Structure formats: structure tokens, C-alpha cells
Structure 1
Amino acid sequence: MDPTIDSKLVSEPVETEKWKKKVQSPSYDLVSYKELPEYMKDNEFILNYYRVNWPLKEALFSIFRWHNETLNVWTHLLGFVLFLGLTVTNLIEVPQVSDLIAFFTRSLPMSGDINVSHHSRDLFVRTMTLVDLKPESDVTSVTRWPFFVFLAGSMFCLLSSSICHLFSCHSQHLSRSLLRLDFTGITTMIIASFFPPIYYAFECDTKWHFIYLGGITVLGLCTIVTLLSPALSTKKFRGFRALLFSSMALFGIIPGIHAVIINWSNPHRDVTLDYELTMAMFYLTGTLFYVSRIPERFKPGWFDLADHNHQIFHVLVVMGALAHYGASLVLMGWRDGHSC
């Protein structure tokens, strides 16, 4: 027998086996909307760059890859890091960092006497006047726990959202579980946002703490229980979910009007209202983007990687939370010098 032919016969099965292994080995490529399993078909205007059935390890490291969830992950992950930094700063009270944060969160002009902090004066006094809300040494600070409830709720929401967007490509079971975690995070953030303004605005009449904080907490728990239903996690009920979250936010109109009436003489009233109205504008605008799926609705496929509605929604949520953070600082600073 020809040794050349014999060597080909021997090597052919080996090469065939290598080819089979190559074909059968997983290749974690991005797929199109048409290739998605039904449970992942949420937005028909995002046409490409989906991850499907990725192992947890691959899903984790996809945080450094470009796909249509990359910016969804990073917008709220960076928001979580930001609020973690704000929390640590308020816990340890580093003056230099506090003044830098004040530049971004407490720079609205106010009527009445203005005291500019020493650290801010050197850097910003030529361009902007800052309100120093740090209490004087002889003034007893108001309790801070409602403020930290808000910060904790915000961090939980932002982190759970990032985790959901990062790992929901793993399996149907995990995707549904993470969606419920995401909805729970949103609800928790809304509930926690009520604590600082209601606690500090009604500190002299604590029965309203129980009425308003109890009311929003019960409403939030009902929302969470409702959203735990698998059916309500589908895209069919997208508008219904937005309605639930919006109704929780609109609940704040009643205590808001009440707080303005009883604190009408508060010199910080207008600044606080500006912050809270700004927060409402960010949240409402974000909800409209979330429901309408603008801009990708008008140009399907153009916004697959960047600038689609959910990314815009995420950015507006972080901005709204920062506006509420500013309002909380104003209220705490006022209560530090005006106890009951």
C-alpha cells in the first residue's frame, strides 16, 4: 500500500474529530432580535447585538464587551459607585470632598444671609456662591437616618438594575428572577426617597411620619407583590408597570403640598421646591422614554448600541436621584439650625 494514502487514512479521522470539536465548542456571539427566544423579545426596535444563553462567567466579563446592554449596565453601575461615594463622604465627613460635592448639589442661589464655606471660597467664589449647610459647632445635628435610608435605597436600586442587565442573558429562569429584583429595586428607591423630605418637613408633628411614610410603604409593598407575578414581568405590561411606579411617585404630591403650607416661612422653601421639581421632571421624562421607546422607534437598528430609550431612562433616574439628594441636604441643613 502507498504510504501516502495510508497516512491520509490515518490522519483524516483525527482532522474530522478536531473539526467536530471546533463546531461544537460554544462561541458566544451576539445575535439578532429574530434569533432571540420569545422571553427575551422585549424591544423589537433594537435589532442586533443581543447575548443569549451565556454562562455566568461569560456574562460577567461581557461588561467589557460592546453589546446592546453595555451602557445599560454601566450607567447604573457608575450611578451606584457615585452614591456609594456620597454615602461614605457623609459618613466620614471629609471637608474637602464635601465642599466639592456641594459645588454640584447645593449651588442654587438663596435669599437671606449666605455663608460660603472656607474650602469652597478659594476655588469657586469668583464664579458661584455656595450655600454652607454644615451645622455650627454649638448646634445639635438633626438625626441622619432618614437621609441614609434614601441613600441605601438608591444604591440598592442602581446595583440591582446593573446586575439584572448584566446577567439576564443567562437563562429564562434567571432572567425572570432578576427582572423581579430590578422592579423591587425601583420600588425600594421610590419608598426610600420619601423618608428625608417627610421626616424633616414634619419633624414637629410626628403623626404625619406614620401617615405618609406608612402610606407610601404599604403602597410600595403592594406594588412589589403585584410585580412578582410572572405575567406582569412581560413586555405586554410595560405600560402597567410604568403606571404603578408613577402612581407611587405622584403619591408625594399630597405630603408635598402639606409640607409647603406648614413650612411657608422656611427661607429654604424655594430651593427645596426647585430641587424636587427638577427630580420630578427627570423621573417623568425618563418614564416617558421608557414607555414610548423613543428614539429607536423612529430608526430601528440605529440605536442598538447607544442612545436607546432604556439608556436615557437610566441616566435620567440617576440625575433625578441627585436632585433629590440636593433637596435632602437643604432640608437637613435647615433642621440643624431650626429644631422644634
Structure 2
Amino acid sequence: MPLVSFAPPSLCLTFSTLLDRLLPSLPSTIRDVDAPPLFRERFILSGYRPVGLSWRCYLLSLFQIHNETVNVWSHLLAAVFVVMRFMVFIVLQGGGILGFRLQGPEGQGFSVDVASLPLVLYVFSAVTYLSCSAVAHLLQSHSEEAHYSVFFLDYVGMAVYQYGCALALFLYSSDIDWSQSMLGQVFLPSAALLAWFSCTTGCYAKLRFRRPYPLHRKLCQVVPLGVAYLLDISPVADRLLTHRWTSNPALPLHFLQVMLFLSSAFFFSFPIPESFSPGRYDILGHSHQLFHILLSVCTLVQQEALFEDFLWRRPALLRRFGEERLLLAYLSFPCLTLCCTMTALFMRRRAQAQLMKEQR
């Protein structure tokens, strides 16, 4: 007599079955030996998506388990959290960001609040880099041309975020004495130049070097980013070194985000833990995933710190810097974005020409 089980199916099995019904079947992942060299990562032996599928397959692979799944979802969810937290902050402040008021004697309206604009640009830059990164890791396996194109977009997003951070930290998080120092006087132009330089060197290193990557490829990526970060974080470092951390609730948050960034930089620079056990961390736990997760948390913590600094510095921002100087500083943001975008488009053309030359 056959045995009949009345146990309910497991939740994971039910969810997996539901996904199979709702979504078309996707090709199974492949091992590194079956993937072209451009798409391989050191010590990651499996979980690669086949190259040359339709764009639809790569979009749907958002719901597939592969070695890029955590990289995509970590930044995608972080982008959503950044926007949601910003909206909650606006509501808790009764509106007022960019002049929009939920309540007030003059009724609802919309006007530009110059003192709030750096915070809006910061949130925009954070969402930009997180979204560009998620798109790059989701779509990069389509083809060699797509691989170069989406990662050039990723470098643009990183540069935009660098300068968005620099702008907000300079205006909200710096002390008066520091902003009037020699470093403070050249801070924003230098930050913009280094952000563009980081984008350029990232694109160049991606296009110039082939596997097995030499050491100077990593240096070409890490050194400009490191120098840019040291400059961008200098207003915060000055406060952390010269103030008691109990004097302002933003200071412990700034310290935490610095520690998170340094931790993420470590995992970006070194293939740990996968180098100790190749193949074991292919799907979950390899260094680039840890880099993404730590950087996402770092961004969320930094946003909280800037909220505190914004509430502290916003009332006096116009008196301190003047409206004309602030507007000039804001104008540099789209200028930097345009320069980085043009650089990425130029590098994309170089990549197309290089691929066509190799195919002949």
C-alpha cells in the first residue's frame, strides 16, 4: 500500500515552482572553462551565465541564482532603501526639500531651496552609482561589447557618486576653519578633477589590460579612487580628529562609514576568501560580493550622517557661502557628469574598434 504524506511542501520548493511557472526557463549556468576569458573572475569556477543570449534572458536572470546575483541585488536594494529613507526624511521634516511644503501658510508649492540642493544631489548620485552597478553586473554577460559598455557606465556612476559625496561633505560636514584653509579653497575643483580621473583610469584599465591581469591594472583602478577618497573624506577626518564625538550625533556615523568603506576597499583589492578555497564561494561569499554589501551599508550610514549635518548646517548655509558661490558649485555637478559620460562614450568607441579589429 503506497504511503501518503500530508506534510505541506516547503516554502522554498513552492516559491521555486511558482517562479518556474511565471518565468520562462533560463539556460543553466556554466563553469569558467566554458566562459570566454573576458567574463571570468579569478578563483570563481562556476555560476557563470552563457554569453550571447537575448537581453530578455539577462533581465530575467535577476531572479536566477548565479555568481552575480548578490552583486546585483545588494546594490539594487540599497538604491531602493536610499530613496525610501530620503522620502521618509522629507515627510518627517514636513517637506521643505527644494522648497516643497506639505503644510504652510502659503499653501503647497515648488521652488528651489538652494540650501537643500546638495542633499538632493547626494541622494541622486548615490542612486545613480548603485543603479549603474546593478545594471552592469546584470547585463555584462550579453557580449564583449555590452561588457565594456555597461562597466564604463558603472565607472561614470562611481565618479558621479564621488563628486556628490564631496559636494555634500564640503557644504554640510566641514568646519569653517577647514573650509577657509588652503585645502578647503581648492577642495571642490580638485574633487571634480579626481572624480573624472577615476572614471578615466577605470575605463582605460578595463579596456587596456587582458587576463591574466597584471598588478598595475589593479593599481590603475585603486590608486586614483584612493586619492579621491582621501580628499573627499578630509572635511570629516578633520572633524573626527578635532572634536569630541559626543558633541554631534553625526560624528559616530561618519566614523562608522569610514570603517565600512575601508573594509569594502580591502575586499575590492584582494580576492579573499575565494583565493583560499577556489570554487567554494562562487555563488555566495566571494570578495566582490562582500565589497558590494559593505559599500551599500556604507552609503546608507553616510546618508544618515549627512541628514544630521544637513539639519545642523542648513540654516546658516547661505550666510556662510553665499548664494552665487553655492549655485556655481551646483553647476559643476552636471558638468562633471557630462565630462564623465563623454569619456565613457569615447572609450566605448575605442572598445568597439578594438573588438572589430580582433574579429578580422
- Give the TM-score normalised by structure 2: 0.67
Aligned to 2:275: 297
Cα contact 2:29–2:48 (8 A) shared by 1: yes
Aligned-residue identity in percent: 23
Aligned to 2:189: 214
Amino acid at match of 1:50: Y
Amino acid at match of 2:225: F
CA distance, structure 2, for counterparts of residue 279 and residue 227 of structure 1:
23
Q: CA distance change for structure 1 residues 232 and 258 in 2, over 3 Å: closer, same or farther?
A: farther
Amino acid at match of 2:287: N
**Runs of at least 5 residues in structure 1 that lack an aligned partner in the other structure:** 1-25, 99-136
Which residues in structure 2 correspond to 1:192-207 (within 5 Å)? 192-201=164-173
Cα contact 2:263–2:294 (8 A) shared by 1: yes
Q: Deviations over 1:227-253 (max 9, x none)?
A: 222115874423431222122111135
CA distance, structure 2, for counterparts of residue 238 and residue 312 of structure 1:
18
Amino acid at match of 1:286: S
Q: Deviations over 1:167-223 (max 9, x none)?
A: 001000110111111122122212211222211245868767762122101111122
CA distance, structure 2, for counterparts of residue 63 and residue 199 of structure 1:
38
- TM-superposed CA distance for 1:224, in Å, is 1.5
Cα contact 2:173–2:306 (8 A) shared by 1: no
- TM-superposed CA distance for 1:337, in Å, is 5.5
Aligned to 1:15: none
Which residues in structure 2 correspond to 1:65-144 (within 5 Å)? 65-90=64-89, 93-95=90-92, 143-144=115-116
Aligned to 1:167: 139
Residue aligned with 1:251, SS: helix
Residue aligned with 1:174, SS: helix
Cα contact 1:142–1:336 (8 A) shared by 2: no
Cα contact 1:150–1:189 (8 A) shared by 2: yes
Residue aligned with 1:46, SS: coil
Q: Deviations over 1:266-302 (max 9, x none)?
A: x975533322221111111111112211111111111
Q: CA distance change for structure 1 residues 253 and 328 in 2, over 3 Å: closer, same or farther?
A: closer
CA distance, structure 2, for counterparts of residue 233 and residue 161 of structure 1:
21
CA distance, structure 2, for counterparts of residue 298 and residue 189 of structure 1:
33
Q: CA distance change for structure 1 residues 244 and 307 in 2, over 3 Å: closer, same or farther?
A: same
Aligned to 1:113: none
Amino acid at match of 1:225: T
Residue aligned with 1:44, SS: coil
CA distance, structure 1, for counterparts of residue 225 and residue 280 of structure 2:
29
Cα contact 2:163–2:192 (8 A) shared by 1: yes
Residue aligned with 1:94, SS: helix
CA distance, structure 1, for counterparts of residue 93 and residue 73 of structure 2:
27
Aligned to 1:119: none
Aligned to 1:282: 260
CA RMSD of aligned residues (A): 3.0
Question: Relative to structure 2, which stretch is displaced further, 175-184 or 230-239?
Answer: 230-239
Q: CA distance change for structure 1 residues 211 and 313 in 2, over 3 Å: closer, same or farther?
A: same
Aligned to 1:243: 223
Q: CA distance change for structure 1 residues 33 and 97 in 2, over 3 Å: closer, same or farther?
A: farther
**Larger Rg computed on CA atoms:** 1
Amino acid at match of 2:289: Q
Amino acid at match of 1:176: Y
CA distance, structure 2, for counterparts of residue 326 and residue 168 of structure 1:
32
Residue aligned with 1:298, SS: coil
Residue aligned with 2:249, SS: helix
CA distance, structure 2, for counterparts of residue 200 and residue 61 of structure 1:
41
Amino acid at match of 1:243: V
CA distance, structure 2, for counterparts of residue 145 and residue 96 of structure 1:
15
Amino acid at match of 1:313: F
Amino acid at match of 2:116: R
Residue aligned with 1:31, SS: coil
**Runs of at least 5 residues in structure 2 that lack an aligned partner in the other structure:** 1-24, 96-103, 105-112, 320-360
- TM-superposed CA distance for 1:335, in Å, is 1.9
Q: CA distance change for structure 1 residues 317 and 97 in 2, over 3 Å: closer, same or farther?
A: farther
- Give the TM-score normalised by structure 1: 0.70
- TM-superposed CA distance for 1:257, in Å, is 4.8
Residue aligned with 2:273, SS: coil
Question: Relative to structure 2, which stretch is displaced further, 161-170 or 315-324?
Answer: 315-324
Amino acid at match of 1:44: R
- TM-superposed CA distance for 1:260, in Å, is 6.3
Q: Deviations over 1:14-49 (max 9, x none)?
A: xxxxxxxxxxxx9833111111112112x2211111
CA distance, structure 2, for counterparts of residue 166 and residue 51 of structure 1:
10
Q: CA distance change for structure 1 residues 201 and 84 in 2, over 3 Å: closer, same or farther?
A: closer
CA distance, structure 1, for counterparts of residue 160 and residue 75 of structure 2:
15
CA distance, structure 2, for counterparts of residue 317 and residue 169 of structure 1:
23
Q: CA distance change for structure 1 residues 254 and 76 in 2, over 3 Å: closer, same or farther?
A: closer
Cα contact 2:236–2:254 (8 A) shared by 1: no
Cα contact 1:180–1:233 (8 A) shared by 2: no
Q: CA distance change for structure 1 residues 253 and 162 in 2, over 3 Å: closer, same or farther?
A: closer
